[in-house]
Amino acid sequence: MIKVITLLTRKPGMSREAFIEHYETHHRKIGEKYLAGFATKYQRRYLQSAGLRDQEGDDPPFDVLMEIWYPDQDALNGAMAVLSTDEAQAEIAADEERLFDRDLIRSYTVEEYESEMLAAEVGT
């Protein structure tokens, strides 16, 4: 399994609510259109300050953590081939211009490690 994460920041002046609404009702569908048949999962995680430590009221450095899972390198390569076509690039870029600060978009593959946690004992 290969996971690609992308950090996305909304355009200056756009409200968080308008950003999420546009992403979930429009931009998400563009992603689904081109990722279908390649990705096994396409998820968006919208950030807000947790209010921990001294970060109360601080805006996160980006607005959404997008995650896309691919079963293998061939699926990722296939998706990248489709996403790089002139048709896909024109549609994606036009909507990104409405939604994101494109200079701040960053994508990474991730290597994940998971800890198994013991269940907490009630009453101790």
| Residue 124 in domain | no
| Residue 116 in domain | no
> Residue 50 has what pLDDT?
65
- Residue 57, domain CATH: 3.30.70.100
Average pLDDT, the chain: 92
Overall domain count for the chain: 1
Q: How far apart are CA 110 and CA 112, in angstroms?
A: 6
Q: Does residue 42 contact residue 68 with C-beta atoms inside 8 Å?
A: yes
- Which residues 6+ apart lie within 8 Å of 7 measured at CB? 61, 62, 64, 65, 66, 104, 105, 106, 107
| Residue 123 in domain | no
- Global confidence as pTM: 0.84
- Which residues 6+ apart lie within 8 Å of 73 measured at CB? 2
Residue 55: both structure tokens together: 């970060």
| Residue 120 in domain | no
Tell me the CA end-to-end span of the chain in Å, nearest whole number.
39
Residue 90: both structure tokens together: 């024109």
Percent of the chain with pLDDT over 90: 82
The parent domain of residue 79 ranges over: 2-110
